[in-house]
């Protein structure tokens, strides 16, 4: 069974047209990749929605005023931190619904997906996916403004998004600190960027690698006019690795070893008679 079939194949369906099933699976993969790329593209705009979320923290400490519905959250009602975050998320969604015309709802909901995974699912034992968690939170006030935009977040996707967001946060500190174009902060940003050396391979269309490229371009465009920090004005393109070719070599080697093993087995079996 190949990766398409293992992870994205639809439920068993009796069909006379196998090509339809294959194309449907491939379309599912393309759809998931498109969604994944959208959340990466939104990272540079997360700041605005982080501030909105912080305002939603106010008034959520008094849980006694907001009894937990066990029919919705089950054992989550016993976890004060989890339920408090549910209330914050509910206030956030209410705010989005009330101010939809002034906001980029797509980005706002991508931020919700990132934040919900980070604060409510990453280090907890709950089996929710982000969309499932969103659907439960939606039942508190019955607003479904994020229904079309919320995304499931895997551990790998979260780590990549989190790193991109940290890059933009570091960049923001350079520009908006007490001392504009602070060279120590520029150094910190450049050094963090360099930690991703060798992460991407040649000709990669990986959304994280594209995100790193977009960050580098934004950084260089802004920093070229900086009146100081000459050594930190330009982010160089990260060194890439020829992983595709390495994988081909590794696959060929494994195939050759497997073939040799089969032939050896057959020869030994022949002589054993």
Residue 257 predicted with pLDDT over 80:
no
Q: What is the mean pLDDT of residues 24-41?
A: 52
Closest CA to 84 of 107, 108, 53, 113: 53
CB 152 within 8 A of CB 130: yes
What is the per-residue pLDDT for 220? 95
For residue 36, the model assigns a pLDDT of 53
What average pLDDT score do residues 190-203 get?
91
Mean local confidence (pLDDT), 123-142: 92
Note the maximum CA span of the chain: 85
104: phi then psi, degrees, rounded to nearest 5: -90, 95
Given a contact cutoff of 8 angstroms between Cβ atoms, the answer to whether 208 and 164 are in contact is: yes
Q: Report whether pLDDT(43) > 90.
A: yes
Cα–Cα dist 125/122, whole Å: 8
Tell me, what's the pLDDT at 28? 39
Q: Which has more pLDDT, 158 or 62?
A: 158
Mean of the per-residue pLDDT values for the chain? 79
pLDDT of 162 > 60? The answer is yes
Q: Is the pLDDT of residue 117 over 90?
A: yes
pLDDT tens, residue by residue, 202-215: 777 889 999 999 99
Please state the domain extents for the chain.
Answer: 3-41, 46-141, 155-241, 243-273
pLDDT for 20 equals: 31
Burial of residue 132 (number of CB atoms within 10 Å: 0-12, 13-18, 19+): middle
| Distance of alpha carbon 168 from alpha carbon 271, whole angstroms | 67
| DSSP character string of 127-178 | ---HHHHHHHHHHHHT--TTTTT-----HHHHHHHHHHHHHHHHHHHHHHSS
Among residues of the chain, what percentage have pLDDT more than 70? 74
Using pLDDT thresholds of 50, 70 and 90, give the confidence band for residue 146.
very high
Q: Does the pLDDT at position 177 exceed 80? A: no
């Amino acid at each position: 069974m190949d990766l398409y079939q293992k992870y994205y194949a639809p439920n068993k369906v009796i069909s006379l047209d196998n090509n339809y099933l294959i194309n449907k699976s491939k379309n599912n993969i393309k759809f998931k990749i498109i969604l994944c790329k959208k959340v990466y593209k939104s990272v540079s705009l997360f700041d605005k929605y982080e501030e909105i979320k912080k305002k939603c923290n106010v008034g959520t400490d008094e849980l006694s005023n907001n009894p937990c519905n066990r029919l919705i959250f089950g054992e989550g009602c016993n976890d004060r931190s989890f339920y408090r975050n549910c209330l914050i998320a509910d206030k956030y969604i209410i705010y989005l619904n009330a101010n939809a015309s002034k906001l980029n709802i797509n980005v706002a909901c991508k931020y919700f997906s990132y934040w919900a995974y980070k604060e409510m699912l990453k280090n907890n034992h709950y089996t929710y996916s982000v969309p499932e968690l969103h659907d439960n939170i939606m039942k508190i006030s019955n607003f479904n403004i994020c229904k079309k935009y919320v995304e499931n977040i895997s551990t790998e996707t979260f780590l990549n998004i989190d790193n991109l967001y940290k890059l933009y946060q570091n960049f923001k500190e350079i520009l908006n600190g007490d001392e504009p174009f602070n060279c120590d902060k520029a150094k910190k940003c450049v050094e963090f960027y360099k930690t991703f050396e060798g992460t991407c391979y040649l000709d990669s269309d990986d959304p994280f690698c594209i995100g790193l490229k977009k960050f580098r371009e934004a950084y260089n465009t802004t920093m070229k006019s900086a009146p100081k920090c000459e050594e930190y004005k330009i982010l160089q393109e990260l060194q890439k690795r020829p992983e595709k070719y390495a994988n081909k070599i590794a696959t060929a080697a494994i195939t050759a070893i497997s073939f040799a093993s089969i032939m050896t087995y057959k020869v030994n079996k022949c002589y054993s008679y």
